[in-house]
Structure 1
Amino acid sequence: MILAVGNIKGGVGKTMLAVNIAVALAQRGRDVLLIDGDDQASASTFARIRSDLEVSKLTTVQLHGAAIRQQMKQLSAKYDEIIIDVGGRDTGSLRAALTVAGAILVPFQPRSVDLWAGEQIAALVQEAREVNEGLKGYALLNVADAQGRDNEDATAALSALDGLEPLSTSVVRRKAFPNAFSAGLSVLEFSPKDAKACGEILSIVNALYTRGI
């Protein structure tokens, strides 16, 4: 199964989600490939830090633009699960990922400037369905406040987007996420363990993969 994680708005936490989802799948015994399709290469940096640690195996490669589409048939035959980290803006990598993925997970922070990009990414998903009919689109409230009206307003805005189905779960802004990432670890592996952060990641994985993306 191929999951893209991306948006045309940067700073929404897509790489953090991508690596945590990938590790969660690896911990379940799946052979996982993480494709870094972002020019910032944050996922590749994460992988380099992780390479010296005794943790679940996670294969990471860098692919950009049309190479994502061109190499996907060969790669998908080798791995149980593929996660593609793309976006931050409208790129050839994002568009290529949309043509081969079974689903895209689009994270949004509960801020107006992030939500303004919603209609644009939703339109890209609908356009991609002209060549990838089975593409599913999911919106996720990420780096959310612990509570408050902004979360409620953002959830309502995501529900109004055509082409993206909002997930019922969300991810709250927690120190565990950047702390684990900088150590080359998922929150599922980091110590001291943040049970709430772990629960949020597992809820996302369960929501996505029980739907058969």
Structure 2
Amino acid sequence: MITTLAQGKGGVGKSTLAMNFAIELQGRGFTVVVVDADRTLGTSRLWADDRANAGLPVLPVVSGEGNLVQLVQSLAGQYDHVIVDVKGGDTTELRTAVVASDLLVAPTSGQQADLDSIDRLSTSVAAARDLNPDLDVLVVLNRVSPQGKASEVEDAKAYLSEYPEFRLASTVLVTAKAWDKARSEGRGVVEIPGKAKAAMQVLTNEMLGDDQ
């Protein structure tokens, strides 16, 4: 399975979600590789280095830039799951990765600036579906305030009703100290007991299509 994490802007938690998804899949016994296609930040590569330095299970991360089709298809022949982390915006990496992907996951908060970036993403999705009509797109509410959860969910539902090509995940990831604590230790939130772990595991089921 090839999954791309992308959005029309940065700062929405793509790399955090990509790495936590990868770590949870690895914990379930799947072989996993992450393609870090954000050469500016390289968050996934740095995170993987921190895991290795902390003596945690090694998570393979490879760099990719430009046209990613050949790279991700090659990796898909070697691993159960290929997870592609691209930078925000309409990039070559995004447009080519989704052509080869089974699933595109778009994290966003319910804030208007983040929701507005979905419109830019829709252009990339439309182009990709000309070549990959089976591409599934899942929008995930991320970094949501626990106090404002209900209103952000409703705002997101209302906004996405104008984009029937996108699905909204049932699982909502709320802001919690566990996310920062896990990252500071090179861990995934799924490696620290608590509500954040449970939410990420349920979201993983949704991303795999096992939520029914």
TM-score normalised to structure 1 length: 0.92
Query: Relative to structure 2, which stretch is displaced further, 169-178 or 156-165?
Result: 156-165
Deviations 1:68-123 (A, max 9, x none): 21222321111011110113111111111111110100011111111111122122
Aligned pairs (5 A) from 1:15-34: 15-34=15-34
Structure 1 runs not aligned, ≥5 long: none
1:200 equivalent to 2:202? Answer: no
Equivalences for residues 118-197 of structure 1 within 5 A: 118-148=118-148, 149-190=151-192, 193=193, 195-197=194-196
Secondary structure in 2 matching 1:64: coil
Alignment-derived partner of residue 61 in structure 1: 62
**Deviating 4+ runs (over 3 angstroms):** none
In 1, Cα distance between equivalents of 2:88 and 2:73: 25
* Aligned residues of 1:4 and 1:98 also touching (Cα < 8 A): yes
Q: Aligned letter for 1:200?
A: A
Instruction: Give the deviation of 1:30 after TM superposition.
Output: 0.5
Q: Displacement of 1:211 after TM fit?
A: 5.4
Q: Displacement, 1:154? A: 2.3
Percent identity over the alignment? 32
Q: Which residue of structure 2 lines up, in the alignment, with residue 50 of structure 1?
A: 51
Equivalence for 1:88? 88
Whether the 8 Å contact between 2:90 and 2:120 is mirrored in structure 1 is no
Distance 2:42 2:160 in 1: 28
Unaligned runs of 5+ in 2: none
1:155, CA displacement in angstroms? 3.1
Distance in 2 (CA, whole Å) between partners of 1:172 and 1:51 is 28
- Judge conservation of contact 1:105–1:139 (CA < 8 Å) in 2: yes
The Cα RMSD (Å) is 1.6
CA shift for structure 1 position 183: 1.7
Contact 1:159–1:165 (CA<8 Å) still a contact in 2? no
| Equivalent residue letter for 2:79 | Y
Deviations 1:171-207 (A, max 9, x none): 00111112211221101224xx3x1100111111101
The farther-off stretch of 36-45 and 70-79 is 70-79
Paired with 2:87 and 2:137, the residues of 1 have a C-alpha distance of: 14
Equivalent-residue separation in structure 2 for 1:58 and 1:137 (angstroms): 25
Q: Count residues with an aligned counterpart.
A: 208
* Amino acid corresponding to residue 205 of structure 2 in structure 1: N
Structure 1 distance, partners of 2:129, 2:153, is: 29
Per mean C-alpha deviation after superposition, the further-off stretch among 74-83 and 22-31 is 74-83
